[in-house]
A and B are shown apart, each in its own frame.
Chain A
């Protein structure tokens, strides 16, 4: 892709103003200890390391270093990701906005307090997997009702994609959209009743909660 590749972390820091830390969490302190003396107040450091707090990052770098934490999710690879940015003490609103614009090709990019990063992980990081489970179950339902598996899977994927686009692009509340699909006494009303009986809402809240709690726990270690 034309990127200059080097074995030297110091070289990357010396030649760049905006530096992304894209190493596994357990390597962060070693890496930062190595580059710390080359970091100036003009640098912007963006960490993608899960569970590594702004406080940890700031402690490993010279004081008043500009640090930002970024939490992406899997669909970023298709430019349909959901990214949350949290700015450190020395990162101004201006820098946050600049980064938000820079990353906009990833999909949805928002700025928020660090406290929301774990919830974002639970919602959108893990949320992608929850959607995969739902898709598999939708397809299984169709197979039970007589549709061949591979067709059922393709349609399930498209259904979720379509629903997602309607949610995003109409700006309507999901309950509103749901009402619009529910003709009185119709198939959807019956199907939704079965979903509600199965406690899908509580299960989903539990799922986001469990994933968020785990993110918090990992961040404490």
Chain B
């Protein structure tokens, strides 16, 4: 089986890294294409031994399993370009929609947890686990700041914070207990942890996280909607970067959705949808 990636950005890079590390496929059986050869991820992919090309058609010809790892609004143009080259043998996986099928599941399972959801839940999945690592990185950065403030060297603070979250996540995944119960288990009466949690609650910690997941989910839907509306001619697209898209005639700031319509700040008491 040979694998191809249309798009050679973060997503392609992450997936190839995982597949090859797990030994599920050899790098030389992977082809990736992108019009932009300057991306650091392109260098990374080449270093891993992936065959790189600027031709999407070449990737399509060389692959049995083809991942569409481009931004959602580029998908229609890509499909337009490679459409004539798609044959029965091809298995197309659009990462923008995230639909998995059973022969792909094993491949995906090699990079972590794989499950199938209804397509209309994909945006919620993006909001939670797609963006989730970013929430965790932000939290870890701040936790490390707290450690440093209280006297720990930075590197140690980062490692301790990361390990704490890693351990907590593992405990939760391995446990039948509710996270609320696990929280209680670590909060000794009158102790340090419950004092600290009180601060988190005072700051509206829980609602901030809910807001974040909701904002990411809503924005994902907006972007997909905009992608569906886009009327740019495929022939006019030379590069798939946003600024190039914006230079095309007929494309304006609002039509490409660079200004978010997600507005969570106009009302302390709730989320107003756009």
Pair A143/B180 contact, Cβ less than 8 Å: no
Determine if A144 is an interface residue (Cβ-Cβ < 8 Å).
yes
B237 to chain A, nearest CB (A): 38
Docked complex: B198-249 residues within 8 A CB-CB of A: 198, 201
Smallest Cβ-Cβ distance to B190: which chain A residue: A146
Determine if B194 is an interface residue (Cβ-Cβ < 8 Å).
yes
Residue-wise interface mask of B (246-274) relative to A, using a CB-CB cutoff of 8 A (1 in contact, 0 not)? 00000000000000000000000110000
Determine if A203 is an interface residue (Cβ-Cβ < 8 Å).
yes
A200 to chain B, nearest CB (A): 13
Pair A136/B180 contact, Cβ less than 8 Å: yes
- Residues of chain B within 8 A (CB-CB) of A34 are none
Determine if A202 is an interface residue (Cβ-Cβ < 8 Å).
yes
Pair B184/A143 contact, Cβ less than 8 Å: yes
Q: Is the interface of A mostly helix, strand, loop or mixed?
A: helix
Determine if B195 is an interface residue (Cβ-Cβ < 8 Å).
yes
Determine if A149 is an interface residue (Cβ-Cβ < 8 Å).
yes
Docked complex: A141-155 residues within 8 A CB-CB of B: 143-149, 153
Determine if A11 is an interface residue (Cβ-Cβ < 8 Å).
no
- Residues of chain A within 8 A (CB-CB) of B194 are 140, 143-144
The 8 Å CB contact of B189, one of A136, A143, A153, A210, is A143
Docked complex: A162-217 residues within 8 A CB-CB of B: 202-203, 206, 210
- Residues of chain A within 8 A (CB-CB) of B189 are 143-149
- Residues of chain B within 8 A (CB-CB) of A143 are 184, 187, 189-190, 194
Report which residue of B190, B195, B197 has the largest number of chain A beta carbons within 10 angstroms of its beta carbon. B190
Pair B269/A202 contact, Cβ less than 8 Å: yes
A113–B119 Cα distance when bound, in Å, is 38
A185–B13 Cα distance when bound, in Å, is 65
- Residues of chain B within 8 A (CB-CB) of A202 are 269
Report which residue of A143, A147, A203 has the largest number of chain B beta carbons within 10 angstroms of its beta carbon. A143
Residue-wise interface mask of B (166-196) relative to A, using a CB-CB cutoff of 8 A (1 in contact, 0 not)? 0000000000000010001101011000110
- Residues of chain A within 8 A (CB-CB) of B185 are 149
B204 to chain A, nearest CB (A): 10
Pair A144/B190 contact, Cβ less than 8 Å: yes
Pair B269/A149 contact, Cβ less than 8 Å: no
Pair A145/B270 contact, Cβ less than 8 Å: no
The 8 Å CB contact of A144, one of B180, B195, B269, B270, is B195
A201 to chain B, nearest CB (A): 12
- Residues of chain A within 8 A (CB-CB) of B197 are 140
A4–B184 Cα distance when bound, in Å, is 46
Pair A149/B184 contact, Cβ less than 8 Å: yes
Docked complex: A100-143 residues within 8 A CB-CB of B: 136-137, 139-140, 143
- Residues of chain A within 8 A (CB-CB) of B198 are 140, 144
Pair B270/A149 contact, Cβ less than 8 Å: no
A148–B188 Cα distance when bound, in Å, is 7
A137–B185 Cα distance when bound, in Å, is 15
- Residues of chain A within 8 A (CB-CB) of B269 are 202-203, 206
Q: Which 10 pairs show the lowest CB-CB distances between chains A and B? A: A146-B190, A206-B269, A144-B194, A149-B184, A146-B189, A143-B194, A143-B189, A148-B189, A147-B189, A143-B187
B-binding residues in A (CB < 8 A): 136-137, 139-140, 143-149, 153, 202-203, 206, 210
Can you add 18 more A-B contacts, CB < 8 Å, to A140-B187, A143-B187, A203-B269?
A136-B180, A140-B194, A140-B197, A143-B184, A143-B189, A143-B190, A144-B190, A144-B194, A145-B189, A145-B190, A146-B189, A147-B189, A149-B185, A149-B189, A153-B184, A202-B269, A206-B270, A210-B270
- 25 A-B residue pairs with CB within 8 Å: A136-B180, A137-B201, A139-B184, A140-B194, A140-B198, A143-B184, A143-B187, A143-B189, A143-B190, A143-B194, A144-B189, A144-B190, A144-B195, A144-B198, A145-B190, A146-B189, A146-B190, A147-B189, A149-B184, A149-B189, A153-B184, A202-B269, A203-B269, A206-B269, A210-B270
